[in-house]
Amino acid sequence: MDFNGSDTIPGPRAEDHLPHTTTAAAKIVIVGGFGVGKTTMVGSVSEIRPLTTEETMTQAGIGVDDDYGSETKTATTVAMDFGRIRITEQVVLYLFGTPGQERFWFLWNGLFEGALGAVVLVDTRRIEVSFEVMGRLEEGGVPFVVAVNTFPDGPRYPVEDLRAALDLPPEIPIVECDVRRRASSRDVLMTLMRFLHSLALSRSLT
Amino acid sequence: MTPPQRRRRQPPPPPPPPSPAVPKSAPSPAEGQNGGEGEGKNPERLYIITGADGERAPVDLVTLIVTRAEAPSSATPEQTAVLRMCAAPLSVAEISAYLRLPFSVVTVLLTEMLAAELVQARAPIVRQQLPDRSLLEAVMHGLQRL
């Protein structure tokens, strides 16, 4: 890494600058197993080229490297892709595509705690991969919707069968999507927003 | 063919209050301890960039950072790069991506820069018990424009 040459100073392209009036950012988390299409979804709706933030995981945090002895300090790098959508002159929305394994989540402080909500991306070929993350979101009180990324070779289940299998209450939306398409990914985010809005309405009435 | 079966879980009875990551407040003891432990295990290269061991400002991935001062002559290359790229507001996640440094390292770097008043932090919008409906409506309008 060399920051000395002014040509190599990293940073956003001029067209990617946020306006100075931007006062606050909100975030949404897209979570799912490896290869389910998180990065594709982030990329298809983001207004900037998707970026990657990394975190280094040491054995102190998870204890999976015990077999190698204490001299081998294996550091695993975990990457998380994200994108951005400008909402108003004041507000910007960030989308994070997050690994489904819970042992990665603590790496980014407050990743789920502050998120407006989450999209759980499900691959019908490996539904059980999403079980743990759904449980964790439920325990943390993080509202989420389920988006089924349709793969041509994946089994197709009726939504009600999926709802029963995922043990989801009727109010939690389950939608099918093709994350490669911007409109389809956008519709998933709209579904999440409508769901959050309905939660806000029902809570303000109670 | 039936899919595998999951069992729903419940949130704990008293929902934990959202912990707003307001940069002005002091880091909690827990964060300080974790930070210290993490630093100790990190390779030396990262240690040099982040400077002295210490408590980290509670910045979130989407805390927006804005430059408020010129780079002092003592500024490190990383600090200079942050000051340059944050001429317009930029999230901590983006700073991490452009600098190609782990989020935790950027957090420590920014803790120093916030303390030195080189940069300013704009706290993120965090989920609340009662979500802000006007915000959600604004987001829906924003998404419709895509």
| Residue A13: inside a domain | no
Instruction: Determine, for residues A75 and B123 on separate chains, whether the beta-carbon distance falls below 8 Å.
Output: no
The answer to the question of residue A160 being in a domain is yes
Q: Is A116 on the interface with B (CB under 8 A)?
A: yes
The top-scoring range by mean pLDDT among A56-65, B49-58, B69-78 is B69-78
Confidence of residue B139 (pLDDT cuts 50, 70, 90): very high
Domains and CATH numbers, chain B: 29-126 (1.10.10)
Is residue A4 included in any domain, yes or no? no
| Cα A36 to Cα A128: distance, rounded to the nearest angstrom | 12
- Tell me what ipTM this predicted complex has: 0.86
pTM of the full structure: 0.82
Distance in Å, alpha carbon of A196 to nearest chain B alpha carbon: 7
Please indicate if any CB of chain B lies within 8 Å of the CB of A115. yes
Domain that holds residue A180: 20-205
Confirm whether A14 is domain-assigned: no
By the 8 A CB rule, do B105 and B92 touch?
no
CATH number, domain of A121, equals: 3.40.50.300
Asked if A140 lies within 8 A of B11 by C-beta distance, the reply is: yes
What A183-188 contacts at long range (C-beta under 8 Å, 24+ apart), as own/partner pairs, is A184/A44, A185/A41, A185/A44, A185/A45, A186/A45, A186/B143, A186/B146, A188/A41, A188/A119, A188/A145, A188/A147
**Length of chain B as a residue count:** 146
B33 band by pLDDT with thresholds 50, 70 and 90 = very low
Q: Is residue A6 part of a domain?
A: no
Q: Is B30 on the interface with A (CB under 8 A)?
A: no
In a domain, A1, yes or no: no
What gap in Å lies between CA A133 and CA B139, rounded to an integer?
Answer: 25
Facing residue for B21 by CB, picked from A114, A162, A196: A114
What is the residue whose two structure tokens read 């827990």? Answer: B30
The strand pairing partners of A76, in sequence order, are A57
Domain count, chain A: 1
Cα(B120)–Cα(B112) distance, rounded to whole angstroms?
11
Q: What is the DSSP letter of B144?
A: H
Question: How many angstroms away from the CA of B112 is the closest CA of chain A?
Answer: 18
Which residues on chain B are in Cβ contact (under 8 Å) with A148?
A: none
Per residue in A105-124, pLDDT tens? 777 767 888 899 999 999 99
pLDDT (tens digit, 9 = 90+) per residue, A64-116? 444 444 445 677 788 899 999 999 999 999 999 988 776 677 777 678 888 99
pLDDT for the residue A98: 87
CB–CB contact A51 B94 (8 Å): yes
